[in-house]
């Protein structure tokens, strides 16, 4: 009865097709244009069969969000591994974050609220937690204090995150701003925070 596995594989394939189709539609027309019927069209089925693979539309979005975090995690990790000193790591990691946001706009949008799923559900994603832990680790090394206050680390993380995310959001919504200037702002702000991280 080897066909059991073959069928399993086929099922997994259509599951992936659904996700791929959803992402492609989002890339081409934006998340607001994504509909179950459009996905069904793309995978050459009718809409109801999607519900055999996902509980609902939000289920698809959640899975894509998760995959986005995995992708981001890989990028951030690579950036960190490319440097020795924590200060360099920190800067590279945030620039990697920045690059990810613009290389994968659609992912970034579902991951960070520009079009959002319920926050409670997303907070529980382990893939998301992994990313933030990587940042925390490096921040911990940057702080020279002997006993690294957990609250301080969290605060610094949010400071970094806020400015990067804020700059990205502003650019995603109000596009048409100067690309070069953004890089300037980003690097300036990062260096500033890193420099005074022990305040």
Partner DNA sequence: TACATTTGCTTAACGGTGTTAAATTATTTA
Partner DNA sequence: TAAATAATTTAACACCGTTAAGCAAATGTA
Choose the stretch contacting DNA; rule: CB under 7 A; options: 37-45, 68-76, 101-109, 167-175.
Answer: 37-45
First to last CA, the chain: 66
3-state secondary structure of 54: coil
- Minimum CB separation of residue 68 from its own copies in Å reads 15
Choose the stretch contacting its own copies; rule: CB under 8 A; options: 18-26, 98-106, 135-143, 181-189.
Answer: 181-189
Instruction: Name the residue nearer to DNA (CB basis): 35 or 132.
Output: 35
Q: CB under 8 Å to 122, separation ≥6 — which residues?
A: 62, 65, 111, 128
- Minimum CB separation of residue 25 from its own copies in Å reads 19
For CA atoms 185, 160, 77, 168, give the dihedral sign: negative
For the stretch 74-112, what's the b/e string if a residue is b when 16 or more beta carbons lie within 10 angstroms of its beta carbon? ebbeebbeeeeebbebbbbbbbbbbebbeebbbbbbbbb
Residue 48 interacts with, from its own copies, DNA, none (CB under 5-8 Å by kind): DNA
Residue 30 interacts with, from DNA, its own copies, none (CB under 5-8 Å by kind): none
List the interface residues with its own copies, window 125-154 (CB under 8 A).
151, 154
List the interface residues with DNA, window 42-101 (CB under 7 A).
45-49, 51-52, 56-58
């Amino acid at each position: 009865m080897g066909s059991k596995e073959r069928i399993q594989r086929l099922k997994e394939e259509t599951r992936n097709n659904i996700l791929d189709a959803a992402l492609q539609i989002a890339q081409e027309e934006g998340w607001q244009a994504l509909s179950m019927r459009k996905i069904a069209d793309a995978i050459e089925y009718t809409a109801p069969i999607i519900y055999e693979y996902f509980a609902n539309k939000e289920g698809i979005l959640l899975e894509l969000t998760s995959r986005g975090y995995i992708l981001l995690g890989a990028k951030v990790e690579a950036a960190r591994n490319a440097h020795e000193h924590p200060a360099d790591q920190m800067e590279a990691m945030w620039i990697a974050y920045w690059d990810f946001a613009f290389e994968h706009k659609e992912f970034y949008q579902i991951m960070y609220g520009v079009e959002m799923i319920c926050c409670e559900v997303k907070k529980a994603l382990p893939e998301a937690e992994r990313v933030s832990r990587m940042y925390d680790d490096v921040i911990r090394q940057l702080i020279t204090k002997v006993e690294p206050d957990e609250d301080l680390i969290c605060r610094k993380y949010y400071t970094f995150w806020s400015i990067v995310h804020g700059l990205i959001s502003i650019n995603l919504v109000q596009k048409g701003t100067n690309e070069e200037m953004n890089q300037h702002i980003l690097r300036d702000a990062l260096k500033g925070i890193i420099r005074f991280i022990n305040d």
